[in-house]
Amino acid sequence: MQSIIIANTLYKDNCHTRKGYIIHGLCTKGNAVVRFNEQEFRLHPNDSFIFVQSEHTELVSKSNDFSAIVVYVLTEFCELATPLSNYGMRGGLMLFQNPIMSLNKIQAERCQKNLEYIALRLQEKKHRFYRDLLLNAVQCMIIDFFDFHADLYGETEISEKTATLVQGFLSMLNEGNYRKHRKVSYYAQMLHVSSKHLSETVKRYSGFPAIYWINRYTTLEISRLLRNPTLTLQDIVEMLSFSSVSYLSRFVKQHLGFNPSEMRK
């Protein structure tokens, strides 16, 4: 599996061919609509973007002149390249909600140079320190994205203790714990803090309490499963540890605004 893939557009098949990658890019021309985590976002020139889960990203539409510089970085490689700064924790939470950052002309030029530099160095496979070379190039890109994000949202840092707590919570969600555990108390117990402390800490740095993220991950998973015609509602109930189809239906109605059966008509 390639650590880095370069493209000049976004693909409609990210969920299949680009699974496991974090998408970094810059819209250079035209416009496009991208669906990320069941929300639609519009890209315009000088809009940078980071889609943290490529399998949850879908190109809905684009203008005929749409062009972008896109760098797909394998999640594990991206983690190695991420600098030792806890700022990324806050940025990651906020990017989950809004992956688009509108840049000014100078920032956009800097972003484009970073993306093009990665593409350039990717070709130097005979370089004796090829992997370190690419890690360095990706890290430079990430640091500038941190800077762009701080300009938009402020420079609030997260302490080491808080970063560890938030990272632990997110790691448990990314590992799929929400499929069996949807109470804040479970995550708080596993992280050795009170439910109130966990929820308030997560809200302070993401704008939403812990239960929001638990339900968000769950509803996204349900939406994906409902689109699979080979799965029955009972299958989904069992996969996500709901007590019954009726309870699943109530959950979907509350958080998505429709009954599961309506989505399959």
Q: Percentage of the chain surpassing pLDDT 70?
A: 89
Sign, CA dihedral 125-68-43-257, equals negative
Sheet with 39-43, side-by-side order of all strands: 39-43, 32-36, 57-62
C-alpha–C-alpha distance, residues 230 and 80, integer Å: 38
> For residue 207, how many other CB atoms are within 10 A of its CB?
11
Confidence (pLDDT) at 16? 42
Question: Would you tell me how many other CB atoms lie within 10 Å of the CB of residue 231?
Answer: 14
Q: How confident is the model over 133-186, as pLDDT tens digits?
A: 999 999 999 999 989 988 887 765 667 788 788 888 988 988 899 999 999 999
pLDDT of residue 84: 60
pLDDT in tens, 46-100: 999 998 877 778 889 999 999 999 999 988 888 788 776 656 655 666 676 688 9
Q: Which tokens go with 138?
A: 């990706």
What's the whole-number mean pLDDT along residues 103-111? 97
Say if residue 37's pLDDT is above 80.
no
